Structure 1
Amino acid sequence: MSILNASAALRMNFMSPPLLPPSPTFSKIHSNTLATTRITTRRTLVISPSFAMKKETSEPLDKVEEEMEEPRETLLYSFTPLPLFFMAALPGAGAVRSLFGPFVELIKSWNLPGWLVHWGHPGNMAVVLFAMGGYGTYLGFRIRFSDDVEEKAMAKDLHPKLLAGMFFFFALGATGGITALLTSDKPIFESPHAVTGLTGLALLTLQTTLPALFENNPGLRNVHGILGSGIMTLFLVHAALGLQLGLSF
């Protein structure tokens, strides 16, 4: 009987499966580990490019901020004729008055007609402005835009001569204007007519130096043309102010 019990026990041992560790626990731990690893891997793939993008986009912004923070200096060039009005308060006005004194007394002693003394300077300057200056300006435009070789050669020869003559007669005519004002006991430097006249002569001096620089800098031809047109416009304003001044006394 005991032998039968032992054999039955042996048979049961052979038929039963071997003991294994609890699979649900291992499977749960293993799945959690895999999930954690997968999540970690995904975070690395997603987060890492964002850091790279942030680094790439932050560098230009830093450069822009640095450029915006750099101090910049802006120079504004402007011209105002107001400082020329102070010439009347300087000793130069008195010096000019003293220098012209003997000549003014000589003119008064000639007993010339009042209209000639009063309007002689404006009449002469109008001829110089419209005849020499106007035609000289026209020739300057023909130099730039004419297709006729002979006409262009003639304009190149006559244009500088006419404008040089205009500069000479304007400078000489300024003495006539001062004399006309002094014979009428008027101030000589306070009027806008005097300011525009002195400014125009200064610009004409600059204008005459530009042609010597054309060979090394051809772009100055455009500056010469624009400046010349501006000077002629200024002298037209100067003439209108002179007419207004002449009618004021």
Structure 2
Amino acid sequence: MDAAFADRAIHLPESDALVLADLHLGRGASANVELPLSESDVPSRLAELCERFSPTEVVLAGDVLHSFDRLPDGVRETFHHVERTVEQAGARLIVTPGNHDTLLDAVWDGPTADEHRVGKTVVCHGHALPDTAAERYVVGHDHPAIRIEGQRRPCYLVGRSAAVAAEVVVLPSFTKLAPGVVVNQLGALDSPLVTDLDEFRPVVRDEDADETLEFPPLGTFRELL
């Protein structure tokens, strides 16, 4: 497909857009642990992606924030660092809200749309069916992961959806604090865009080797895992 995968994000060269989903800023502070978990790597990883792809747009596909009712300490600062990172890369930041983003206007006053078109692709969070027709949809929401030989890895899912009659790409969560939903034994995801999980093929990144591993659709691949 005409896309590049890297560090839980996707670059769409046709429109020169970098898309990532599910930052869930504040999740570390909301975790049930004595000390907050760090999410300070988010801006630096985004900077590396911007340096690699030099996008003209960076699109956040929803669930920028984690908490529904409060902003934990440090969330504003982390998000503003994200903004500065995109600005310094010479790109435009676009946000498509997710179901967690009830407090988004407390940190972001820039362009916001439930669905954002980039060429033939529409980016949205994926918790609801989109209104805009497209040849491909890039979404987040479900945090897919896959267990291979006992090891859990974040993964992308790529397949055709009967719900929208188009290709759908589900991104893993950009935050590393989300463990991910293991798709090996699942029959469905929460997103209404993923109508038949067996038709979706996992894509796994080996960042150390800078290699993208594409597997057969889950319906034919499960028995091999």
**Where on the TM-score scale, by shorter chain, does this alignment land: which range?**
under 0.3
Q: Which has the higher helix share?
A: 1
The TM-score normalised by the length of structure 1 is: 0.21
Q: Which has the higher strand share?
A: 2
- Structure whose CA Rg is larger: 1
The TM-score normalised by the length of structure 2 is: 0.23
